[in-house]
Amino acid sequence: MNQLDALKQFTTVVADTGDFRQLTQFKPQDATTNPSLILKAVQKPDYAPLLQETMQRFGNRPLDETMDRLLVRFGKEILSIIPGRVSTEVDARLSFDADASYSRAERIIELYQAEGIAVDRVLIKVAATWEGIEAAARLERRGIHTNLTLLFSFCQAIACGQAKVRLISPFVGRIYDWYKKSTGSQWDEAAQAGANDPGVRSVRQIYNHYKHFGIATEVMGASFRNVGQVLALAGCDLLTISPELLAQLSASAEPVERALDAAQARDLQIEPVNYDEAGFRYALNEDAMATEKLAEGIRAFAADAIKLEQLMKAA
């Protein structure tokens, strides 16, 4: 048994890609996309026809609608290969507008339904700002399930749990990146690896809190930089992994042990935590890493959405 198959015994494996032709090799349950991954995919010869076809059919519609149609087209192709769910992201430029995020999510779901895709096979990805979490709470009450992304802090996770969102995606690798950069020459890679990795520790804290208090929101570790981070979270509800790291896991026969355990989490001594809007904003402000990485992530996804729009106009 290779490490990927062993990992699947403890954790639902999700592919983090817009390159759906790679999916059959790794047999993930679910798949996640984002504007950066779709932008990367449409620039490959295999996927350029999807962009051209979408523009030929819908190029006379408003650009934001046409982009959603392109995202749904990729999602539909992915869902023809995997048995589970695909995550499709709301435009990051709406991250601080709850009403606009809600409306855009509704349209994405309507486009999926028009393609014969059931609502329970789609997760709407929204940035874990206060406004994004508010939009997600409204969507969940309507039966539209959500994946809260760009999540870097405990307070974001707590607010998502309070909102009863379906799933959160804490970004392991980007947390690791920040601490490694801020530590500079004093960084000790070996000492900060595996269970000691700052991104891994963040997810473990969230996972233990959710399981201890019976919070139903699923935890999906994301944004991995190496296989060690993935294996240190074996047992997490889900892990979304790039094709490159999936290939590394498939090529190794080293043993995999459960690292996170819901039963053990229920026995821990953990204090309950809740946030109102003011408390959330203050807690996020106090976390320099989360504040910086959230802002950086929104800017990056927004920039890639603009690049994708430019490609669409040129198609």
Determine how β-strand 218-221 pairs with β-strand 167-170: parallel
Q: Treating both helix axes as pointing N-terminal to C-terminal, what angle do 130-141 and 154-162 enclose, rounded to 10 degrees? A: 30
- Residues 73-109 as b/e (b if ≥16 CB within 10 A, e otherwise) read bbbbbbbebbebbbbbbbbbbbbebbebbbebbeebb
Distance CA 65, CA 311 (A): 15
Contact status, residue 175 vs residue 152, Cβ threshold 8 Å? yes
Distances (CA, A) of 25 to 41, 86, 245: 17, 17, 13
The SS3 assignment for 38 reads helix
Cβ pair 295, 124 in contact under 8 A: no
- With CA atoms as reference, report the closest residue to 314 among 66, 103, 29, 14: 66
Token pair, residue 280, equals: 């959330």
Residue 213, phi then psi, degrees to nearest 5? -100, 5
Q: CA-to-CA distance for 144 and 252, rounded, in angstroms? A: 38
Instruction: Return the SS3 of 72.
Output: helix
DSSP state letter for 241: E
Question: Residue 221's beta-bridge partner residues?
Answer: 239
Residue tagged active-site, from 76, 125, 211, 293: 125
Note if 44 is an active site residue. Answer: no
Residues catalogued as catalytic: 125
